[in-house]
Structure 1
């Protein structure tokens, strides 16, 4: 039955989804077996074939199954999240099923907040390096996770997470930078950032300040100014310190660049004079 989910016909997959859901609901003894077989299909999809038409439909069914998991979660279910659901993020065709996958991940975090750290670390591990479209999707999922995160869990992952967000803000691809900056429109995320501004502002500030001067897209520059304004309102003393420190660092960099250029210039002059001496001989 599960293999039929590989059908090209979305109508067939939709009917199969209803049938499997009914079977899972009625036959308690088959539940563990069905979950195991779905696991196997996903693992084969991730590590071998990278092709299976019904991943989205199976994830929809899993969303309902996860919703019904009893608390506390069994270790088997936690393993499924870390070993099966998170690796699904690295497949090239993530766009086909990302919404359903993100829903399943958030369902797990609503059940057990302590899973937040391994989930965020997993997402950062599989973070796309060259595909901007996937990067935008990852940022959307991070925002969904931050919407349900508890402050204690946020404190554990803020450093790693905001280093990645700072990289996204610096992205030359404007949609990636835009998606990262839109997080500051989320009031709950903003409240978490405000509570932890001493940690987050020093991480984000250099990228934001640089982009406010250098980014090619005017929309991004406007969004960056809005975020910098928010930071200034949160903690003006720290903001002034970071501005002064950044400018001092830039001056040092310019000085180093100038010294390096002068060194190359001198080396060039030495080489020319040596060639002249050899020619004179």
Structure 2
């Protein structure tokens, strides 16, 4: 933890927005120890510096952990971190939830469009095969 604080105070790194087309490692990689970091006051202070830029990513990770993580202890730790984050900035947390829901809704609509497109392609292929059946050549020995 001290090393992380030193790196931050030296300006070695800073929190920033995610580059377009890039994704954060999925929440399935979040370990208990990472959640324990939120119990460290110094870590929380550093996280608050870049809150606006990364809050949506944090909210999404928290919500996915609560919904799908297999470990009960990770879900319990996640719940306590979620409560702390909601208390720190309820409006920002709500905005993060709304953004996550909008993102999921868009992904769902894209999935529906993709499925309809494949159904149309399959239908066209089946129709084409009906009107132009494949011809087989029978070879006898």
TM-score bracket relative to the smaller structure? 0.7 to 0.9
Q: Which residue of 1 aligns with 2:78?
A: 224
CA distance in structure 2 between the aligned counterparts of 1:157 and 1:205, rounded to whole angstroms: 22
* CA RMSD after TM alignment: 2.7
After superposition, the Cα gap between the structure-2 partners of 1:187 and 1:276, relative to the gap in structure 1 and judged at 3 Å, is: same
After superposition, the Cα gap between the structure-2 partners of 1:189 and 1:150, relative to the gap in structure 1 and judged at 3 Å, is: same
**How many matched pairs?**
128
Q: CA deviation at 1:208?
A: 2.3
Higher-Rg member (1/2): 1
Q: Which residue of 2 aligns with 1:260?
A: 114
Contact 2:56 2:99 survives alignment (8 Å): no
After superposition, the Cα gap between the structure-2 partners of 1:168 and 1:159, relative to the gap in structure 1 and judged at 3 Å, is: farther
CA distance in structure 2 between the aligned counterparts of 1:167 and 1:149, rounded to whole angstroms: 25
Q: CA deviation at 1:157?
A: 2.1
User: What runs of 5+ residues in structure 1 fail to find an aligned partner?
Assistant: 1-142, 161-165
Relative to the length of structure 1, the TM-score reads: 0.40
Relative to the length of structure 2, the TM-score reads: 0.74
Deviations 1:201-223 (CA, angstroms, capped at 9, x unpaired): 23422222222222222222222
SS at match of 1:159: coil
User: What runs of 5+ residues in structure 2 fail to find an aligned partner?
Assistant: 17-23, 136-141
Q: Which residue of 2 aligns with 1:157?
A: 13
Runs of 4+ in structure 1 over 4 Å off: none
SS at match of 1:199: helix
Specify which structure has the higher proportion of helix. 1
* Higher RCO structure, 1 or 2 (CA under 8 Å, sep 6+): 2
